[in-house]
Structure 1
Amino acid sequence: MPQHTPTTPACRDCHGFSTVAITTGTRHRDGTRATLHVTCPACNGTGHTIAAPALIRAGR
């Protein structure tokens, strides 16, 4: 059965993976790793982008 394709294109910077967890290398006292959660600045964490409008000539 064919899969449905999304109607909005994936972000070209994060390819749809809008939020990532990056380990810092340090550990908390209980042994778990300290992580930073970072969102894509291009799509603001949505994973999708709005299609760029067509080039419009303005003026003369």
Structure 2
Amino acid sequence: MRPGHRHAGIGTELVRRAAEAARRAGCTWLHVDFEEHLRPFYLESCRFRPTAAGLLHLRDQ
């Protein structure tokens, strides 16, 4: 996102709309993967709950 548009609520609104669309589609859960520096956005601003998860890399780097 462009620096001048940060902290304007655009990302939070996008997540809110995605969650509402998922609810209307009958989904029970909405999952997000994010880099550590985005943790406050997803957990505080968007109210995602932290979960334990695992990741297995299947291709050579």
What TM-score do you get using the length of structure 1 for normalisation?
0.20
More helix by share: 2
What TM-score do you get using the length of structure 2 for normalisation?
0.20
More strand by share: 1
